[in-house]
Amino acid sequence: MTLVEMSAQGRGESSIDLLGDALTNHESADDFYAFAMRTLMAGWESLDFIEKYLAEATITVIDRAELKREVEWCLDVTPVPDFPFDMDDVISSYLGRNEWNDKELLWTTPDMYCLLCWGTSA
């Protein structure tokens, strides 16, 4: 069961998509990432595109301080009212895509996986 799923639009045609799910529903961060991206892309992209996207994805470990800086930057550009995650509870943190117009930040808390996808078309 997905616990959290929300989107927000910001300035400069930016957007944030958030998805969180119980740790017990996934075997690993990679497994959750694949689930989350399939969920977020469903209805927007073809299954072939999604599978190719996931095959090319690289998830790397980052430290909590870097994760917090990246999340704060994303939220500054694209505010999310009532941001649903407590960043003080982060246990492990990862970076997916990290380009000038596209960021994927993944982390775990004691009971859930969380994914923040930020992007802009500007």
Q: pLDDT over 90 for what percent of the chain?
A: 64
E-only strand ranges, the chain: 2-9, 14-22, 60-62, 92-99, 102-108, 112-120
pTM of the model: 0.89
Residues 20-54 pLDDT 10s: 999 999 999 999 999 999 998 998 889 999 999 99
Nearest Cα neighbor of 107 from 81, 69, 55 is: 69
